[in-house]
Amino acid sequence: MGIHITINPVLFTLGGLEVRWYGVMMAIGVAVLITWAFQQVKRGADITYDHLMGAAMVGIPSGIVFSRLLHVIDLWSYYSQNPGKIIGGEGLTIYGAILGAALGVWIYSRINKLNFGYIADVITPGIIMGQMLGRVGCTINGCCYGTVSYNNPVAIIYDNPTSFGPLGIPSQPTTVYEIVFLGLLLGVILAFRSKFKPSGVQFFFYLGMYSLWRIGIGVLRAGLTSFIDWHVFGIHIALEQAQFIGIIAAVICFSLIIYRVRKASSAQEIVETAKAEIESKPQNV
């Protein structure tokens, strides 16, 4: 019972370099994100092509660095025994890429005196579409596999020996679950895009919801190192690094949403009060 994946995760080999489906789908995802962003500028978004490219030139490499960093932390039990393999590109995490790219774009925005919230809102749908493509690559690659699930009719079974997933063992299709979740989240954001105000609320809503998702889906993930393993008052608390970061990110994102909405409401009240006072004063003729 389950869905067998026999696709070779290695698309082709060039010399001694393996080009895997995961990397190809990640590259396509980045291309989709950039295409989406340029389309928004073409449709009237208040950002120049130069600033958009500048943000991409900073955000993409910072995303790659953080993506690798979180992957190493995820599998620290392995890399602590093989420190020579810490530097490399064989393993990346989508969550790390998002957080790293966001940090890079924020720094770029600060330096160039741009509205980070506005830029982030413009590209949010593109980020989600890129993520979905990246998870397609994960599904083929066998990474990010779930816990053993023998009675699950949609469990994934990896049959190709070059897969990173457990061979011949049905596991929870965590990457497929995430693709579905991201599709629903994208639908909500596109349907209510005009309602996410002020600037930055749309992006922080997306990142906050995705952080909550990562906290929950971590229960079904397998092969990860516990970042926190505590016993508090007889209660066992075990969290992998994505769950721990997810908690922090969710708190920050939803706090920023509340702060921005209240700040915008207060500013609107001040404007309306001032307008009412002006209108109430007798006009000199």
DSSP, residue by residue, 270-281 = HHHHHHHHHHHS
Sign of CA dihedral 192, 196, 197, 198: negative
Query: 285 pLDDT band (50/70/90 cuts)?
Result: very low
Number of domains in the chain: 1
Q: Is pLDDT of 227 > 90?
A: no
The mean of the pLDDT values for the chain is 86
Rounded to two decimals, the pTM is 0.86
Decide if 214 is inside a domain.
yes
Question: Are the C-beta atoms of residues 245 and 96 closer than 8 Å to each other?
Answer: no
> Domain range spanning residue 198?
3-279
Largest Cα–Cα distance in the chain?
89
What number of other Cβ atoms are within 10 A of residue 260's Cβ? Answer: 17
Residue whose entry in the numeric block shows the structure tokens 């900073």: 58
Decide if 285 is inside a domain.
no
Percent composition of the chain: helix, strand, coil (DSSP 3-state, to 5): 65, 10, 25
Give the CA count within 13 Å in the CB-facing half-sphere of 109. 16
The first and second tokens of residue 254, run together, are 């939803």
Q: What is the spatial distance between Cα 256 and Cα 182, in angstroms, rounded to a whole number?
A: 22
The first and second tokens of residue 197, run together, are 């105000």
Query: 248 pLDDT band (50/70/90 cuts)?
Result: very high
- Phi and psi at 89, nearest 5°, equal -125, 20
Decide if 140 is inside a domain.
yes
Question: Are the C-beta atoms of residues 125 and 190 closer than 8 Å to each other?
Answer: yes
Sign of CA dihedral 208, 164, 60, 12: negative
Question: Are the C-beta atoms of residues 116 and 110 closer than 8 Å to each other?
Answer: yes
Checking 80-89 for CB contacts under 8 A at 24+ apart, the result is 89/23, 89/64
Decide if 284 is inside a domain.
no
Decide if 168 is inside a domain.
yes
Amino acid in the structure at residue 253: C
CB neighbour list of residue 278: distance below 8 Å, 6 or more residues apart: none
pLDDT score of 254: 96
Query: 258 pLDDT band (50/70/90 cuts)?
Result: very high
Query: 283 pLDDT band (50/70/90 cuts)?
Result: low
Comparison of pLDDT for 79 and 282, the residue scoring more: 79
232: helix, strand or coil:
strand
Instruction: Encode pLDDT of 61-103 as tens digits.
Output: 998 888 888 778 777 777 778 777 777 656 678 888 888 999 9
Decide if 204 is inside a domain.
yes
169, with CB counted inside 10 A (0-12, 13-18, 19+), is middle
Decide if 30 is inside a domain.
yes
